[in-house]
């Protein structure tokens, strides 16, 4: 009987909740729209729901999931460095890649608040909720593990962007891990998304 049933499973229920809920939210976001604006959906799915689950179900301080400024001096340095490194690359891609221009040139209205609402949820979701839950269980492997759903969530966007996201997701996760905060990868990601739209639309 023991051979048939196998060894007793040693599961972390919080990791299970994070994994199942995050997967369901990504799938629901892909198939359904609940408000007139997709960025409001994503703010609710990826920011409000994980935050509520952390407070009500986990009964934990959101700070344990990167919901703080963390090491803000290091965060400011990484943010400035990320912007300086990415700006020329994004400028080239925004002007030189046809798929980027076609996809992003229609997203100019509402900047920068549309990208703010869209990405603050995404970054708390991936670089806060998922990353710090996985770090407790899987250690540094969590940096790659959280990058996988992040990359898959980009399917449908320009191929050059989607192909880079497994590495970009790892880099964002590393910044969050080093600073103990999702805020700094959010600021870098917010700049990247806003800048790409501005370039692709011909605004700059």
Which token pair is 142?
A: 């969590």
Residues with Cβ < 8 Å from 101, sequence gap 6 or more? 94, 95, 200
Q: What is the pLDDT of residue 97?
A: 78
Taking the model in full, what pTM does it have?
0.92
Number of residues written out for the chain: 204
Question: Is it the case that residue 179 has pLDDT exceeding 80?
Answer: yes
Sign of the CA dihedral with 13 first, then 18, 23, and 28 last: positive
Q: Is the pLDDT of residue 94 over 80?
A: no
pLDDT tier for residue 23 given thresholds of 50, 70 and 90: very high
Q: Which of 31, 66, 52 lies closest to 146 in space, CA to CA?
A: 66
Average pLDDT over residues 180-187: 98
Report the distance separating Cα 24 and Cα 43, nearest Å. Answer: 15
Q: What's the mean per-residue pLDDT of the chain?
A: 92
Residues 174-199: what's their mean pLDDT?
96
**Residue 164 confidence (pLDDT):** 93
Task: Identify the pLDDT of residue 165.
Answer: 94
Q: Report d(CA 119, CA 131) in Å as an integer.
A: 16
């Amino acid at each position: 009987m023991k051979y048939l049933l196998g060894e007793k499973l040693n599961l972390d229920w919080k990791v299970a909740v994070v994994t199942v809920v995050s997967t369901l939210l990504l799938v629901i976001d892909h198939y359904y729209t609940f408000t007139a604006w997709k960025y409001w959906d994503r703010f609710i799915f990826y920011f409000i729901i994980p935050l509520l689950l952390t407070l009500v179900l986990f009964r934990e301080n959101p700070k344990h999931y990167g919901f703080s400024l963390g090491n803000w001096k290091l965060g400011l340095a990484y943010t400035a460095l990320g912007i300086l490194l990415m700006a020329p690359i994004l400028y080239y891609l925004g002007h030189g890649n046809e798929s980027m221009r076609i996809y992003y040139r229609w997203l100019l209205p509402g900047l920068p608040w549309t990208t703010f609402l869209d990405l603050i949820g995404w970054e708390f979701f991936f670089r806060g909720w998922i990353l710090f839950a996985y770090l407790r269980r899987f250690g540094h492997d969590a940096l790659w593990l959280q990058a996988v759903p992040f990359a898959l969530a980009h399917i449908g966007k320009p191929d050059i962007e989607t192909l880079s996201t497994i590495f970009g997701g790892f880099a964002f996760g590393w910044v969050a891990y080093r600073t103990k905060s999702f805020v700094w990868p959010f600021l870098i990601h917010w700049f990247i998304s806003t800048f790409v739209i501005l370039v692709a639309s011909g605004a700059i």
